[in-house]
Structure 1
């Protein structure tokens, strides 16, 4: 069985359910590690302190933590990792600009299988406003800048 669990603010919960989330956790009122149990994969884009330590407690044997966030205490410590040798973790930066990945994205988009949600579009003259909104971290979807 497949179960998709995600975190967001309450205002975005219905939108995430409409995209296929089975369980939505309001990060303002709950910690995901107190609510979620028995998952195979945790995909982290936030990098909260001790994410790896919490993940190792709830991942199934053979489970995998992937984080895009870089920080000194995002991945599990060596002792935690050693205590669960069947669980893996990996930091994976966002610098993969491979032609193959771009071709795959193009194929998905051309077949209508890639849904991009644009939260807001700014004119180039307001690029600073776009950056401020992006850094605030609460946009649902992507923030785009129209370049003439």
Structure 2
């Protein structure tokens, strides 16, 4: 698997090596996030003193390839970068091997594939940050996306919200309702000002806090994960990767409270990483966009299977006995 980089003039990063307190991981899948195409604009990177060239990719599951607090061969998942520390790594998840601090990782739930594990953002930190309480109401902006689809499940099944309203396009209404939303608003047909209710918490996953702030209650809280900067009333939230939070997610997964949602077009092959960015920016994804080195193998397996079926059908046609009446020679009606 080749590396994908946001290159500038400084060249490419060194081959990853794990030092004390870090883990070398054989990458088995990765997911992409809105902040990653914003990285191309460099605003986020420069504000965080990020280095160039930078290998994209934050969330990943993989197999431990070196000795650490995990055993070699352990299947783990987690996050590469901690932007809250102001010094993100140069190497990301979209390469053969990646290095992560061991406290950012947890053992992957055995019930999940690597591709499914790549879909799990740390959306629960947003609820923790605002001290969300059982019985409160929440409006989730972008409920069909990678973060929103998990946030709805968290609000419904973990934090026990009394009312969950979300926004998406009409074609995704049933999908968003199936996740646990009580009401869905089509943002292309209805403005935030036209929403009759007010909410204890507005979780804006697409960076529209300058518009969505109007649906929060007086004294309510807003978290915006995709605006730099967000509306003055909103908290600009950046995930702080922690293995302990991933362990919590794992328990919710195992209990059936949360289910990973992979975008129907995923997994993408690594060679299609540019397509993932276009799909992400289109805001038409349904669930998390996942990249997997297995995708090429799956495509090849499908092509080989089709070829094998064709060979079997062709062989069967050649051995099929002809009509016995036609084997007697002449016109069968006059023999």
TM-score of the pair, normalised by structure 1: 0.77
> In the TM superposition, what is the alpha-carbon distance from 1:138 to its structure 2 partner?
1.1
Instruction: Give the aligned partner of residue 3 of structure 1.
Output: 163
User: Secondary structure of the equivalent of 2:285?
Assistant: coil
CA distance in structure 2 between the aligned counterparts of 1:91 and 1:109, rounded to whole angstroms: 27
Instruction: Give the aligned partner of residue 304 of structure 2.
Output: none
Instruction: Give the aligned partner of residue 84 of structure 1.
Output: none
Instruction: Give the aligned partner of residue 34 of structure 1.
Output: 194
TM-score of the pair, normalised by structure 2: 0.37
Which residues of 2 match residues 56-95 of structure 1 at below 5 A? 57-72=214-229, 74-76=230-232, 89-94=234-239
- Kindly indicate whether structure 1 or structure 2 has the higher relative contact order, using CA contacts under 8 Å at least 6 residues apart: 2
Instruction: Give the aligned partner of residue 21 of structure 1.
Output: 181
> In the TM superposition, what is the alpha-carbon distance from 1:49 to its structure 2 partner?
6.1
1:97 to 2:222 alignment: no
Would you say the 8 A contact 1:25–1:32 is kept in 2?
no
> In the TM superposition, what is the alpha-carbon distance from 1:11 to its structure 2 partner?
0.6
Would you say the 8 A contact 1:38–1:58 is kept in 2?
yes
CA distance in structure 2 between the aligned counterparts of 1:58 and 1:141, rounded to whole angstroms: 24
Gap regions ≥5 residues in structure 1: 82-88
| More strand by percentage | 1
Instruction: Give the aligned partner of residue 127 of structure 1.
Output: 273
CA distance in structure 2 between the aligned counterparts of 1:134 and 1:36, rounded to whole angstroms: 30
1:146 to 2:303 alignment: no
How many pairs align?
A: 132
Instruction: Give the aligned partner of residue 210 of structure 2.
Output: 50
CA distance in structure 1 between the aligned counterparts of 2:215 and 2:270, rounded to whole angstroms: 44
**Structure 1 segments of 4 or more deviating over 4 A?**
none
* RMSD (Å), alpha carbons: 2.0
Show CA shifts across 1:107-126 (max 9, x none): 22222222111112112232
Gap regions ≥5 residues in structure 2: 1-134, 136-161, 295-335
Would you say the 8 A contact 2:207–2:224 is kept in 1?
yes
